Structure 1
């Protein structure tokens, strides 16, 4: 797993590219391209370039965490 170059989400630009998502999550580019293909992942294309809005990306991360909590951490 790659280490994250960002210390917090505040350091992210308003619009991320695939490399920035990769750096933030500590995932390889091929893994991020697989995420981008998901219907629920907030990405859009301009020509051949892929962009991810920071606010929607952080919301998506929170939803993923909440879903996992509800699936695996029951009392």
Structure 2
């Protein structure tokens, strides 16, 4: 199954699945699950499922990337 190209944050669901996180970050799904083990990573665990609030994810991402490492 081909990955859907995300061109706008609004295309993402309010509660993203780990597959959405992997897609946005262009990383393997396994790596996304490893990332979710980070205590600062925004997640909601329901049973065995992990959901990531979209807006909290992007706030977290902004805080994790130092400004001098962002390239245009």
Give the structure with the higher percent helix: 1
Q: Give 3-state SS (helix, strand or coil) of 1:56's partner.
A: helix
Shift of the alpha carbon at 1:4?
A: 6.7
**TM-score relative to the length of structure 1:** 0.79
Considering only CA atoms, is the larger Rg found in Structure 1 or Structure 2? 1
Count residues in correspondence.
Answer: 68
**TM-score relative to the length of structure 2:** 0.82
Aligned structure 1 segments of 4 or more residues deviating by more than 6 angstroms: none
Structure 2 residues not aligned, in runs of 5+: none
**Deviates most, 52-61 or 6-15:** 6-15
Q: How does 1:38-53 map to 2 (within 5 A)?
A: 38-53=38-53
CA RMSD of aligned residues (A): 1.9
CA 1:24–1:4 in 2, change beyond 3 Å: closer, same or farther?
Answer: farther
